[in-house]
Amino acid sequence: MRLTVLAAVSLLAVAAAGCTNETLDTFDKVDVDITKVSSKTNYQLSSAVLGKLSSMGIDRSSPMMLRIFKEEGRLELWKADRANRFKLVRNYKICAWSGKLGPKMKEGDRQAPEGFYPLSKANMNPNSSYYLAINTGYPNAFDRANKASGTHLMIHGACSSSGCYSMTDEQMVEIFAFARDAFGGGQSTIQLQAFPFRMTAENMARHRDNPNIEFWKMLKVGYDHFELTKRPPEVNVCEKKYVFNQQADKPFSPTGACPAMTTPAGLEVALGSYNKTYAAAYATAMRKYDGTVWVEPSEAQRKAIVADQRKGRELAYAPTGNSLDAGKLMTAREIAEQKRKAEEAEKRKVEAAERAVREAEQAKLDAEQAKIKEAEALAADVAAAKAAKQAEGKDALPVPEENPGVAVVEKKEEKPFWKFWTDKAAPRKVEPVAGATQETQQQAKAEAGTQTLQKEQKPATETAGQRVEKPAEGTVVLPTPEQNPEVQVVEKKAEKPFWKFWQK
């Protein structure tokens, strides 16, 4: 038994060493002309790809695995050879991924998932709005056990991401073809491994201060198992944690206690040697990064470094750069200085905003005061002008005399019909005529006085060629219109009684 275990451990150690040092002739760019793809779901892998697979001892329909590294922005495609060991055959550059390093926790946080996800044929979406898509299967058993939420997290085309891993359409049509062929060869599920970065000693030391470090340590176990065996690990969840390649007599419950578990002996021995080497490398890395902190960039900062790639492309095309290029390693002193500058800049911003508010309020107050002064000045000018006119006698109101604006008209009252026997005129009644002015009234009075004086004098004597006649008896003499055109003259001759018909 001991010889069997030692043989197994030796085999794993030799395999691990060989995988660590081997150099695969992988290629990044795809040789797909998307304009010539007549059926995206039935696209066939190129002869160049098939030739490469054959040279590596890999069949076209052999099982495959996908592995993602966020920080580098890479998606690896691995396929099993005829010895059932997986080899890297494609290393795609991810066009866009959203959020920052770390797992997705809730709907709308723009985080791309991290963890281990089984992809079945049902996860394939040939009718995606983003050309083609493969659903990651998020949330998985681990995510659900930790109450994480979210839907429709994909690996898709179109190079635009809101929580997904987005590829170019050329890349996606090839990945879709690889998966279709693997399912066609009998593979039931394709394992997707999504990591924040390669789980090396140096990277783990560099990110030691990240709040997600404990979660990443758990993922590292699965990462290490694949690095040692070059086979996708068997994944289970218990006590809300991932467990890898564990043998148990009872089923695993994602939220329940883990059953009694054992690690295969050969793997355990290989892991012991692997972990010893890792510990030494980690100690070296810690000395290297002592006193420094890795400052992870935001999504906006990653986009900024590849902004030129968007020129001349459609608006939806939104690549994101990788975190290694956009991030920065800083010392504690540099971070403190950066923080101080940021706080000072924020303070200046607040002070400028407060100053702007004060200046706006003062300007408003000054405008109101100016309006008040302008109104006061206008009122003073009006009062001064009025006083000046009054001093000059202008605009003074006239003093009314006796009934101004009314002219007196003398009108004889008509005799009632039943007083036919009398020829005496009834008393005359004075009627006012509206519209006459005070001046007109005074003129009428003066002319009336003149006529009265003429009546009291003797009758005028005859002059040469003229004779003055007395007015007929009963005739009233009033001023003529020529004498006073503003006065209405009414003249009425007394009627002769009917019995005096013989008189003319």
> Which residues are CB-neighbours of 330 under 8 A, at least 6 positions away?
292, 293, 294, 295, 338
The Cα 340–Cα 349 span in angstroms is 14
Question: Measured in whole angstroms, how far is the alpha carbon of residue 116 from the centre of its chain?
Answer: 36
Q: Which of 19, 95, 156, 159 is catalytic?
A: 156
> Which residues are CB-neighbours of 380 under 8 A, at least 6 positions away?
none
The Cα 476–Cα 482 span in angstroms is 17
Is 19 noted as a catalytic residue in this protein?
no
The Cα 180–Cα 183 span in angstroms is 5
User: How many residues are present in the chain?
Assistant: 504
Helix (H) or strand (E) holding 337: helix 332-392
Q: Which of 19, 95, 164, 238 is catalytic?
A: 164
Q: Answer for the pair 302, 275: CB distance below 8 angstroms, yes or no.
A: no
Q: What's the sign of the alpha-carbon dihedral 250, 255, 261, 265?
A: positive
In 167-233, the DSSP E strands lie at: 190-195
Collapsing DSSP states into helix, strand and coil, what is residue 77? strand
Is 164 noted as a catalytic residue in this protein?
yes
> Which residues are CB-neighbours of 170 under 8 A, at least 6 positions away?
30, 32, 34
Q: Would you please indicate which residues are annotated as catalytic (active-site) residues?
A: 156, 164
